[in-house]
Amino acid sequence: MNEYPSVEVNLTSLVTPVGAHWEQNDRLREEFPVYWNTYGNGYWVLTRAEEIREASQNPAVFSNHSIVATDPNPAYRFLPSFVDPPQHMKYRKPLNRWFSPPAVAALVPQLRECAATTMQEFAADGHTDYVNSFGDHFPVRVFLTSMGLPLEHAAFLVSCVRRMSGARSGSPDHVARMMGAWADIAAFWTVLLADRHANPLDPDIDFVTHMTEATIDGHPFADDEIIDTLVTLTLGSLDTLKGQFGWCIYHFATHPEDRQRIIDDPNLIPNAVEEIMRAYPIVGMARKLTQDIEFHGCPMKKDDMLFLNLPSATRDPREFPDADKVIIDRSPNRHMAFGASEHRCVGSHLARAEMIIALEEWHRAIPHYRLGVDEPLMELGSQIALVSLPLVWDV
């Protein structure tokens, strides 16, 4: 009898009341550290933090050639996501500098301005659907600012995010809508890149010009490599933040005692952001097997897909006491919501700054608010996110 038997579980995309999937993850984590999910063509799932860390740190066996569990042979390429070490760091280098802690710190005044502008659009109304107002607009404005681009592109990118985030169910209509948005994003960057080749801007301010000057193994990046990097940054940064923002405000809308604590002491907000990322994580990642291997008793085969269930790992009681409780001043809090490999999220510093500033500015302007529905619905697909988050407040 293997210590870690493989089992068959059929998980599909679901719209559920908030909380249903935490219970499902808790149950599966305790029963099966590793299991075979029969959804789609089937893939392995790791549920516990230790095993996920072990696989994340063994790219020779668990490769990044695909990071979507249901898509072992993608027709697209995410960069630097799809490149394994040692080549990976070469693709990542121009991004590391751009999204480093000092670079993000320099953006903070502009981020505050983006938050204030976004909130002005609905603060006087006394109500909003948070994920589809602030959640759409604020990350887009921040993203454009961080890339050195004018906000005139915001409406276009918001429309792309809406088409993508409404597409998690996996139905053919939704997939077609998502692929349309994806193609529009690629076309947007293709036009911009051609323009920067012809009319370069300051490479310290304009990210696209910066990429045209970056080199890899002594050569400039090819245009298709730059486009794939730009598309990955766009997809990786907008929908993820929209999802995570929703959970931040959902928590404070439903836990008035925690809300009062951050209103009284905004210095608690950075810790609270970490805890919300740990307790309400939104994304997992997949890897592709490069060889046959027995992993914790499971007979994995070359080309099998393996899903690293990060949302389950961050709630693993083996790593976190009272893992199912949200403790906004939890310390230490070494969660893996941004990953646990060399591919750890390159935008983590920007994402953290955005969430901290969003919570600070929101609670400064609208400290007292409540849910506008009894219980919002969440979607369990490529991301775990609220479908909408109606809020009301007195004006």
Residues that bind ligand HEM (CB under 6 A): 56, 80-81, 92, 99, 232-233, 236-237, 240-241, 244, 282-283, 285, 310, 337-341, 343-347, 350-351
Q: Which is nearer to ligand HEM, 53 or 127 (CB)?
A: 53
Question: Which run of H or of E encompasses 43?
Answer: strand 43-46
3-state secondary structure of 146: helix
Strand runs (DSSP E) across 228-323, as ranges? 285-289, 293-295, 298-300, 305-308
3-state secondary structure of 46: strand
Closest CA to 186 of 140, 242, 226: 226
CA dihedral 8, 12, 15, 21 (to 10 degrees): 30
Q: Which is nearer to ligand HEM, 167 or 313 (CB)?
A: 313
Phi-psi region of 40 (alpha: psi -120 to 50; beta: other; left: phi over 0): left
The one-letter code for the residue type at 93 is K
| Cα–Cα distance, 230 to 99 (Å, whole number) | 13
Q: Which is nearer to ligand HEM, 69 or 233 (CB)?
A: 233
The pairing of strands 384-386 and 377-380 is antiparallel
Q: Which is nearer to ligand HEM, 63 or 232 (CB)?
A: 232
Task: Supply the minimum distance, in Å, between the C-beta of residue 340 and ligand HEM.
Answer: 6
Task: Give the residue at shortest CB distance from ligand HEM.
Answer: 347
80 cis-preceded (ω within 30 degrees of 0): yes
CA 200 and chain centroid, separation: 31
Task: Supply the minimum distance, in Å, between the C-beta of residue 186 and ligand HEM.
Answer: 15
Q: Which is nearer to ligand HEM, 103 or 293 (CB)?
A: 103
Whether 46 and 33 have beta carbons less than 8 Å apart is answered as yes
Task: Supply the minimum distance, in Å, between the C-beta of residue 337 and ligand HEM.
Answer: 5
Q: Which is nearer to ligand HEM, 40 or 236 (CB)?
A: 236
Task: Supply the minimum distance, in Å, between the C-beta of residue 368 and ligand HEM.
Answer: 26
Q: Which is nearer to ligand HEM, 129 or 228 (CB)?
A: 228
Task: Supply the minimum distance, in Å, between the C-beta of residue 236 and ligand HEM.
Answer: 3
Strand runs (DSSP E) across 304-394, as ranges? 305-308, 370-371, 377-380, 384-386, 390-392
The one-letter code for the residue type at 275 is E
Tell me the C-alpha to C-alpha distance, in Å, between residue 345 and each of 92, 96, 332.
11, 10, 20
Q: Which is nearer to ligand HEM, 131 or 282 (CB)?
A: 282
